[in-house]
Amino acid sequence: DQQVKQNSPSLSVQEGRISILNCDYTNSMFDYFLWYKKYPAEGPTFLISISSIKDKNEDGRFTVFLNKSAKHLSLHIVPSQPGDSAVYFCAAGRDRGSNYKLTFGKGTLLTVNP
């Protein structure tokens, strides 16, 4: 049962344009959502997060939008840069004390072309 889904395995955009990465989830009990960026043979790097009580969070070029009714979130990168090319993972979690853990999607490979 895949609770966090990233239906697009890959996305290609031109430098300077907007990249929109999508993520859907099925568990309405998730309290928070995070986006990570990962290069090959490296650990994921935390990008941005959002609590389930908010619908938008912005940090520099990165903005995450949350639509709870649709169980959907998206990461917007504006403007996109070639260095943004990586695999992006969406993650969701519930904070229940010792039962805290994240569930990851399968990732989307973003390629930003110069």
Partner 1 sequence: GAVVSQHPSRVICKSGTSVKIECRSLDFQATTMFWYRQFPKQSLMLMATSNEGSKATYEQGVEKDKFLINHASLTLSTLTVTSAHPEDSSFYICSARYPGPYEQYFGPGTRLTVT
Chain contacts with partner 1 (rule: CB under 8 A): 31-32, 34, 36, 41-46, 49, 51, 89, 93, 95, 98, 100-107
Question: In angstroms, what is the minimal distance from the CB of 27 to partner 1?
Answer: 15
DSSP characters for the chain?
A: --SEE---SEEEEETTS-EEEEEEE--TT--EEEEEEE-TTS--EEEEEEETT-SEEEETTEEEEEETTTTEEEEEESS--GGG-EEEEEEEEE--GGG-EEEE---EEEEEE-
Residue 88 CA to residue 97 CA, distance in Å, equals: 27
Which CB sits closer to partner 1, 34 or 75?
A: 34
Which CB sits closer to partner 1, 15 or 111?
A: 111
Which CB sits closer to partner 1, 65 or 104?
A: 104
What is the token pair recorded at 83? 């260095």
Question: In angstroms, what is the minimal distance from the CB of 41 to partner 1?
Answer: 7
Which CB sits closer to partner 1, 55 or 95?
A: 95
Question: In angstroms, what is the minimal distance from the CB of 106 to partner 1?
Answer: 4
Question: In angstroms, what is the minimal distance from the CB of 14 to partner 1?
Answer: 25
Q: Please report, as a single letter, which amino acid is at residue 113.
A: N
